[in-house]
């Protein structure tokens, strides 16, 4: 189980062991982990070593600590394939989860130089700024801010963005979405993200910046999102040339 003669650090062996138990379903979402003392006694290792393993699992979102109670198995992270341009609403429905939005604001603002150049409009031209918390089964997953040209996308309203924006673009404005480029970065939550995503100060987030184009090449939107790293990860298949 734990091999003290192995050059692999003991905390890492324990971490992998618990991870394996979670992935194979021996430990299920919501289950309480044995205490540090129990692990230490069972494997004859120090509590420091156990703590190191558990802290790593907490950091990586496999388990979470509840003050004065214990450590519990967290829900599995959502594993989002990077194949195909899909909306959050579509993604969540595909995996049988209920998508919802909490609108932070919906307003028209003058385009900054960055947004203007991305949308190929004049600096200062009016753009919709739509900021929403995206939830899956009621849990905040991401803070998303979309910028779209007002003149190119009339009839966008607060009501529309309560559900899927892509649905509206495609089925109400009858535009054809073509492709997007997406940048993926890792960062630490800002204070605003921390509050809205209901995570702790210093928590990691996946930062996504997407530029979406219609099939005729017209820029449609610039989207900046911060996804909770404890609930979300990306997956991709790559082929060798």
Nearest distance, CB of residue 130 and its own copies, angstroms: 13
Distance CA 109, CA 28 (A): 47
CA distance 160 to 157: 5
- Minimum Å gap between C-beta 63 and its own copies is 14
Q: How far is the CB of 122 from its own copies (least distance, A)?
A: 15
- Judged by beta carbon, residue 37 or residue 65, the one nearer its own copies is 65
E strand or H helix that includes residue 73? strand 70-73
Q: Residue 167 in contact with residue 89, Cβ under 8 Å?
A: yes
| Contacting positions for its own copies (CB under 8 A) | 3, 6-8, 13, 16-17, 19-20, 23, 56, 59-60, 77, 79, 82-85, 105, 107, 109-110, 112-115, 129, 176-188, 190, 202, 204-207, 215, 227, 229, 233-241
33 token code pair: 């982990």
* Nearer of residues 37 and 114 to its own copies, judged by Cβ: 114
Shortest separation between residue 3's beta carbon and its own copies, angstroms: 7
- Compute the distance between CA of residue 29 and CA of residue 25 in angstroms, rounded to an integer: 9
Asked whether the beta carbons of 234 and 184 are under 8 A apart, the reply is yes
Separation CA 205–CA 228 (nearest Å): 5
Distance between CA atoms of residues 227 and 208, nearest Å? 8
Beta-carbon contacts of 92 under 8 Å, excluding residues fewer than 6 positions away, are 98, 99, 136
Q: Using the minimum distance from each CB to its own copies, give the nearer residue, 41 or 215.
A: 215
Q: Which C-beta is closer to its own copies: that of 117 or that of 162? A: 117
Q: Which is nearer to its own copies, 100 or 166 (CB)?
A: 166
Shortest distance, position 60 Cβ to its own copies, whole Å: 6
Query: Shortest gap between Cβ of 7 and its own copies (angstroms)?
Result: 6
Query: Which C-beta is closer to its own copies: that of 37 or that of 192?
Result: 192
């Amino acid at each position: 189980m734990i091999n003290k003669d192995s050059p692999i650090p003991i905390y890492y062996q324990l971490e992998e062991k618990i991870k394996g138990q979670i992935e194979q379903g021996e430990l299920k979402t919501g289950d309480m982990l044995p205490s540090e003392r129990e692990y230490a006694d069972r494997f004859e290792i120090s509590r420091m070593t156990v703590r190191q393993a558990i802290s790593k699992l907490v950091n990586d979102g496999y388990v979470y600590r509840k003050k004065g109670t214990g450590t519990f198995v967290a829900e599995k992270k959502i594993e989002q394939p990077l194949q195909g341009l899909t909306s959050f609403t579509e993604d969540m429905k595909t995996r049988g989860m209920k998508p919802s939005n909490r609108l932070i604001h919906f307003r028209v603002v003058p385009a900054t130089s960055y947004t203007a150049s991305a949308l190929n409009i004049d600096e200062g031209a009016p753009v919709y700024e739509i900021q929403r918390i995206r939830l899956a089964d009621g849990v905040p997953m991401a803070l998303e801010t979309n910028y779209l040209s007002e003149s190119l996308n009339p009839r966008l309203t607060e009501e529309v963005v309560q559900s899927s924006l892509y649905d509206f673009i495609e089925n109400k404005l009858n535009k054809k979405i073509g492709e997007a480029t997406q940048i993926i970065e890792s960062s630490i939550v800002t204070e605003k993200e921390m509050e809205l995503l209901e995570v702790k100060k210093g928590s990691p987030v996946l930062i996504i910046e997407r530029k979406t184009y219609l099939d005729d090449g017209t820029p449609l939107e610039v989207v900046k999102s911060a996804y909770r790293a404890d609930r979300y990860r990306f997956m991709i298949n790559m082929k060798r040339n």
